[in-house]
Each structure stands twice: as structure tokens, then as C-alpha cells.
Amino acid sequence: MKRTALMPVVATAILLAGCAHTGGPRVTHCLTDNCTVTVKVDSCTSITATPDWLEFAPGAKGDIEWNLDAAANWEFTARGIEFKDPANPEFDTRRPGAKKFKWKNKHTRAGEHRYNIFVTPDGGKTTCKLDPTIMNR
């Protein structure tokens, strides 16, 4: 009788475990002073950032580098990586590039920092966007 009562619990646990992992890591804990995000682009409707959530440990700060993994015609736009709060004092020393983009995380205060990734397949005529997050603990 006990075995029968546990079956729905076990089935639910297996189902939830299968849904929990949908590909690359959702969260990366940045324990060192530098972190890397891979931006994979197949089309404007198929853009992923791995990880899509960077979490910096207390006191960890440094460069965040976004690397574009896409066909040769894809590149970051001039906006590239742009924080949703343009007056955000946590990030400076912006270093744009067509396939690599960097910001420095000063990590002077804890909080969530949402940003946009802008890429283009045609030299800027079309702009595609994704909106991941950085968390300073």
C-alpha cells in the first residue's frame, strides 16, 4: 500500500526533473573576476545567450565578454549590449566589436541588471534583440 501511495510523487518528481533542464545553463555563478556569455544566433527568432542569467558573487567584479556564435554575416549592432537603465553606474568601460562585446562590472551594489543584446544579419538594416539579466549579490 505504501508503494502505491508513493507512485504519484515519484512520477511528478521525474516529470519536473525533465522540465527543469532545457539546454544550456540558465544561471552561471561568476566567482572570478571575468565571465563569458555565448550568444548563439540562427535567426531573429532564434537567439540564445548562454548563460542567460549571470550571477556575480559578493565582491566579484570584472569583465563580462559576450561572444557571438553565428554565421559570418551576423554581428553585434552599434548598440550591441545595452543596459535597460542607461544611467546604470555598475557597468563602464564599454568595448564594442562586431563579434565580441565587453563591459566592466564594477559591482558596487547588489541588484538585478537587465540588458538587451542587439544583433544584425545585414549590416544594421534589420535589428534583432534578446533580453537576459545580470545579478550582483
pLDDT digits 0-9 by tens, 51-68 = 888 888 888 888 999 999
Single pTM value for the model: 0.77
Q: Of the given ranges (12-16, 47-51, 60-64, 97-101), which has the lowest mean pLDDT? A: 12-16
Residue 15 phi, psi dihedral angles, 5° rounding: -60, -45
25-51 tens-digit pLDDT: 467 777 667 899 999 999 999 999 998
Q: Tell me what pLDDT residue 36 has.
A: 92
Q: What is the model's pLDDT at position 86? A: 83
Residue 21 is predicted with a pLDDT of 33
pLDDT of res. 26 = 65
